[in-house]
Amino acid sequence: MFNTSEFIILAFIICLAYVVRGITGFGSALIAVPLLAFFMPLSTVVPMIVLLDYLASLSHGLHHRQHIQWSLVLPLLPFSLMGIALALYLLGTLELGLLKQALGVFVISYGIYSLLINAPHQHRNRLWAIPAGSFGGLIGALFGTGGPFYVIYLQLQGLDKTAFRATVASIFLIDGGMRLAGYTVSGFYSKDTLMLAAIALPIMFTALYLGGHIHTNLKPTIFRKAIAVLLIGSGFGLLLN
């Protein structure tokens, strides 16, 4: 399937992506999907990363369940579901080249946003659930990278650290479950995709463990800036590829 050098590169990409997730709690798909798309079609990459992300969320668990802000989560769900349904339709009808270019534009945009903005101003309006849920479901199902929309939505609500982590974890589990169901029903989990995910599992769990130990010694703001530069570079690479 892959030669030795390609396998080493793919393993490094997955390791990097889940070290990031271990440190920040999200962002693995933003790293893994655009870089893996150089070696595999998006129709394989995205379902595989969504599956790995869901298992990563389960492994972390919800240690602060009592702090989940369900009043913020529930308004997202119908719009997330609509976005996922649209994405499943687009995955079956759009050219892969167009999808890759769209992914490149999205990754560049988010990378620039991460470089320029430290934290969004608070706007405690539940109506933000409409764009956050819609784009989170759509972009998440298309590219496996819907997390930033949910993260920004919760940042706008001004949650404290514990409530933020508990609530975003619950969103990832619910949204990820809907995407997994959609991919399964639509037939995106082939034997090859499941085999790749199985091979990636030990790399993912090792990276999560490393990320969890690194985060106490590394300033998150500095790390996010470095990742933003990587995202911008990978986005331009996708546009030029």
Burial of 185 from C-beta contacts in 10 A (0-12 / 13-18 / 19+): exposed
Average pLDDT for consecutive 10-residue bins of the chain (241 residues)? 87 93 80 89 89 84 74 92 89 74 84 74 74 89 80 79 77 87 89 93 93 73 75 80 62
Residue corresponding to tokens 């702090």: 67
Determine the pLDDT at residue 123.
61
Determine the pLDDT at residue 134.
93
C-alpha torsion angle, residues 86, 112, 118, 135 (rounded to 10): 0
Q: By the 8 A CB rule, do 53 and 45 touch?
A: no
Determine the pLDDT at residue 202.
96
Residue corresponding to tokens 């998006």: 42
Determine the pLDDT at residue 102.
82
Q: By the 8 A CB rule, do 147 and 26 touch?
A: yes
pTM of the entire predicted model: 0.79
Determine the pLDDT at residue 117.
72
Determine the pLDDT at residue 161.
67
Q: By the 8 A CB rule, do 114 and 224 touch?
A: yes
Count of CB atoms situated within 10 Å of the CB of 200: 25
